[in-house]
Chain A
Amino acid sequence: DAKTTQPPSMDCAEGRAANLPCNHSTISGNEYVYWYRQIHSQGPQYIIHGLKNNETNEMASLIITEDRKSSTLILPHATLRDTAVYYCIVSSRIGGNNRKLIWGLGTSLAVNP
């Protein structure tokens, strides 16, 4: 299973873009990169996922390098409510269509006023 490496913590000023990096150098060709966030002991919230191409939705953008060994989650205009732990996860396939998500410790993002 591919593992991920994220910085333990980051700071960002309110209104600025938050760029959260993730290394996944052992990712295999059919593994997706997913991002979730968890706000203070609440249930994790799905943000976005991607395989090869960059992805964007109403919450964030995901930039995956061409070699797929790293990715960056971008929150374009961070607000105080974006303060959370952000998890970068690579799926592992357990036969057929089944995947389980391997969770690390994530990056604790603090958005400051």
Chain B
Amino acid sequence: DSGVTQTPKHLITATGQRVTLRCSPRSGDLSVYWYQQSLDQGLQFLIQYYNGEERAKGNILERFSAQQFPDLHSELNLSSLELGDSALYFCASSVLGDSYEQYFGPGTRLTVT
């Protein structure tokens, strides 16, 4: 158990809909990262927050957005969903903005039908 929690574990929704994925980092970690992993693909870094502020951006679509709240939990919002958005979404956390040692949550499996 990494100490990072993600909810929900599974999510099934239709195209065009909007969903919110939630992540609670390990106690004491200030940085949260979001990743997308499509079937048989490597992880794609989406975005990083550090202590409430956006710190780095990866391959995040404009339809996707994220935020980190004062209690350090984070949410990833996915809107206008397409079939290709079906994937595993992982959240990770680290103590500082330095990302070399990240602790990953169990992931949210999103299925868009």
Measured CB to CB, the closest approach of chain A to B49, in angstroms, equals 12
- Contact residues, B1-25 vs A (CB, 8 A): 2, 4
- Mark A71-92 against chain B: 1 for CB-CB distance below 8 A, else 0: 0000000000000000100010
Q: Are B97 and A44 in contact, CB atoms less than 8 angstroms apart? A: no
The answer for the CA separation of A98 and B56 in the assembled complex, in Å, is 8
For B50, give the chain A residue with the smallest CB separation.
A98
Q: Are A99 and B100 in contact, CB atoms less than 8 angstroms apart? A: yes
The answer for the CA separation of A101 and B97 in the assembled complex, in Å, is 12
Instruction: Collect the chain B residues with CB atoms within 8 Å of residue A87's CB.
Output: 42-43
Measured CB to CB, the closest approach of chain A to B77, in angstroms, equals 21
Does B67 make an interface contact (CB < 8 A)? no
> Which of B88, B98, B105 has its CB near the most chain A CB atoms (within 10 A)?
B98
The answer for the CA separation of A49 and B107 in the assembled complex, in Å, is 23
- Mostly helix, strand, loop or mixed at chain B's interface? loop
- Out of B2, B42, B96, B101, name the residue touching A43 (CB < 8 Å): B2
Interface magnitude class on chain B: 20 to 34
Measured CB to CB, the closest approach of chain B to A84, in angstroms, equals 13
Does B65 make an interface contact (CB < 8 A)? no
For B40, give the chain A residue with the smallest CB separation.
A105
Measured CB to CB, the closest approach of chain B to A21, in angstroms, equals 17
- Out of A46, A94, A96, A103, name the residue touching B43 (CB < 8 Å): A103
- Mark B34-60 against chain A: 1 for CB-CB distance below 8 A, else 0: 010000011111001000000110100
The answer for the CA separation of A104 and B37 in the assembled complex, in Å, is 11
Measured CB to CB, the closest approach of chain A to B22, in angstroms, equals 15
Q: Are B100 and A43 in contact, CB atoms less than 8 angstroms apart? A: no
- Out of B44, B55, B104, name the residue touching A44 (CB < 8 Å): B104
> Which residue numbers of A lie inside 8 Å of B, CB to CB?
32, 34, 41-46, 49, 87, 91, 94, 96-106
In the complex, besides A87-B42, A98-B99, A100-B99, 8 extra interface pairs with C-beta distance below 8 angstroms are: A42-B106, A43-B92, A46-B103, A87-B43, A91-B100, A99-B99, A99-B100, A103-B35
